[in-house]
Amino acid sequence: MKLPRHRFLIGSIAGLIVAQRSGDLFSRALAQAPLPGAPATADERVLVLVNLQGGNDGLNTVVPYAMPQYYRYRPTIGVPQNDVLRLNDEVGFNPALKSLKAMFDKRQVAVIQGVGYPKPDHSHFRSQEIWQTADPDSYSSTGWLGRYLDAANVPSGELFEAVALSPVLPEVFGSRKIDVPAIDGNLRGYGLASDRRKGGAQEFRAMVDDERMPFSSPYLAKITEIEANAQKGAEELPKLIAGYKPQAQYPATNLGRSLALAAQMIGSKLGTRVIYVTHGSFDTHTYQKATQDRLLAQFSDAVSAFYADLAAHGNERRVLTMTFSEFGRRVAENASRGTDHGEAAPVFLIGGAVRGGVYERHPSLDDLDNGDITYTTDFRSVYATVVERWLGRPSSGIIAGNWTSIPAI
């Protein structure tokens, strides 16, 4: 059938306008493409973010045992070659990661090497801020997962779409629309501090309603709403997860208890999309080996129990776990048999739907930046991969810039 030229042009222009206004329609479709072995829709998937606080030493976590420079720089704290749990002909796990190695052998762990960013900051506070906001160039008021929650249009009043199993709310959940609860891993302290005093919550709301506050503020209504949600959540969460029966023996550690609670929330189908937990401190300036080995073993055993529990309930392919730490450590050990603040380090992606293996290039130990390794993978590539391939959203507007996806998911 012939189409008049002017109608063809009008139709073409209209099509371009629709495509432009839909913005990322095609990238959205790609992001939500089915993943082998994973739930068909992103709404069924859960991201668990593990913060290895304090700056975990990447070189003694994923050990470059084939590089002789490693042993020259670390004559006393280097992991002996015969003890390394080898992943390939170049690198291997610290022996404390025995349980994680068993998961790696099942193709459930992806190791992304040399993750960092340009002009790294060695301050704990600024580095944590950079990693949680995904903004190394300025000071952002929102976190990368907060921006994801905003973009996902989470309905107001949904209490457990995202949860921080942490004493304080991390910057990663900084959002313009969504209130995220911070919950103790033992379900202690959830709600406002006033709730711990009998009648405190009710008294606060009554004072606002009766206009008995000693000041006025346009934000009081919002504070009252947040307080009401916290009170409701504190009352409802233990009931909602009470029917879940763990099918694994979790280690009696803070991380073990946090991941056990995470499994309960996931298994109870509360609609939770993102869970944040912490582990550490890995700030090993002195006598590093004993501290780091203990913390790595705790991490490895807790994650292994977590996935065994998820698997027993048919949820292991619904959950992706990602690690991060504010920075790695310097290449050379110091005089106190520890390591000082450094730069790049590996990131782990763990789960039943992960394409396990070792990804990206290990940083050179010959070409150091004032004693530090230089990053080979920008952390925003990792974040963009997780946002697009797992959470099912285009990364534009969440992670600034255009980043190459890593085929680990």
pLDDT tens digits, one per residue of 342-386: 999 999 999 999 999 999 999 999 999 999 999 999 999 999 999
What is the DSSP-derived secondary structure letter of residue 182? B
Instruction: Please identify which residue in the block is written with the tokens 């829709």.
Output: 41
Q: Are 268 and 238 in contact (CB under 8 A)?
A: no
Within 10 Å of residue 383's Cβ, how many Cβ atoms? Answer: 22
Percent helix, strand and coil across the chain, each rounded to 5?
A: 40, 15, 50
Topology adopted by domain 35-190+241-390: Alkaline Phosphatase, subunit A (3.40.720)
- Record the pTM: 0.84
Mean pLDDT for the stretch of residues 205-226: 55
Report residue 1's pLDDT band, with 50, 70 and 90 as the boundaries: very low
CA of 87: how far to CAs of 64, 116, 162, 268, 307, in Å? 10, 22, 34, 35, 20
The answer to whether residue 276 scores a pLDDT higher than 80 is: yes
Number of residues written out for the chain? 409
Q: Is 143 or 189 the better-scoring residue by pLDDT?
A: 143
CA of 355: how far to CAs of 72, 112, 302, in Å? 34, 12, 21
* Percent residues over pLDDT 90 in the chain: 70
d(CA 68, CA 1) in angstroms, rounded, equals: 72
Strand 274-279 to 162-165 pairing: parallel
CA of 247: how far to CAs of 98, 181, 263, 307, 310, in Å? 21, 26, 10, 10, 8
pLDDT (0 to 100) of residue 28: 44
Give phi and psi for 347, each to the nearest 5: -120, 140
For the chain, the structural domain boundaries read: 1-31, 35-190+241-390
